[in-house]
Chain A
Amino acid sequence: EAQVTQNPRYLITVTGKKLTVTCSQNMNHEYMSWYRQDPGLGLRQIYYSMNVEVTDKGDVPEGYKVSRKEKRNFPLILESPSPNQTSLYFCASSRGDRGHTEAFFGQGTRLTVV
């Protein structure tokens, strides 16, 4: 089954404690991205990757890092989480040809930073 898998689904952490949210896709997609969803703001892109070792900032990259060492994986790293990073996070992947077509989303990771 084609899918994007995020882990964990729920995470509560304390300010400043480094964390990683994993994302893996099994569709051999070139393009992957991370979004955060906040009430009234919709989805905002954090980082994206067009292929292995190619990443770039989205609209709200501050406080986040990513890496793309393998095509299937695109982890999101919060080096020093702060309460304003409490949010619902989604990973997505899509094919890279002909621009950006259908994006497949993971189930989301609800992060609370206290």
Chain B
Amino acid sequence: AQSVTQLDSQVPVFEEAPVELRCNYSSSVSVYLFWYVQYPNQGLQLLLKYLSGSTLVKGINGFEAEFNKSQTSFHLRKPSVHISDTAEYFCAVTRGSGYSTLTFGKGTMLLVSP
């Protein structure tokens, strides 16, 4: 079974500052990794995903994440945030072969202020 830990429940940041949202996972097999974003009163939307290949993946809205197998991490970064990035962000993992359910972290609320 796999698990996901999002180390921060809330991250406050000022507009135009850089941000990193941390995610660590646990799994005994290869994995696929995802970041989803949830804007207020909306469903979840895929930001980016790592399936294989380059460990640096780029997503929508200027976000990127780096897969680090040795540290079992998949941290999300953005060099300059906007007010509109205020949302909850979820890291998720699934097994990289065969059938497996998608396991989510508990979420990180990104609060961007002017």
Contact = CB atoms under 8 A, between A and B. Distances in A.
A84 interface: no
A92 B90 CA distance: 15
Interface in B67-97: 90, 94-97
A20 to B, nearest CB: 19
B101 A100 contact: yes
A42, A101, A102 interface centre (most CB from chain B within 10 Å): A42
Given A42-B106, A105-B43, A107-B43, A99 B100 contact: yes
A40, A99, A102 interface centre (most CB from chain B within 10 Å): A99
A48 B102 CA distance: 10
A90 interface: yes
A41 interface: yes
Interface in A72-102: 90, 92, 96, 98-102
Sort chain A's interface into a size bin.
20 to 34
Sort chain B's interface into a size bin.
20 to 34
A50 B99 CA distance: 9
Interface in B39-63: 41-46, 49, 51
Contacts of A102: 34, 46, 49
A103 B103 CA distance: 12
Given A102-B34, A108-B41, 5 more contacts: A42-B90, A45-B103, A48-B101, A58-B101, A90-B43
12 contacts: A4-B43, A33-B101, A40-B9, A41-B106, A42-B107, A45-B103, A90-B43, A99-B99, A99-B100, A100-B32, A100-B94, A105-B45
Interface of A: 4, 33, 35, 40-45, 48, 50, 58, 90, 92, 96, 98-103, 105-108
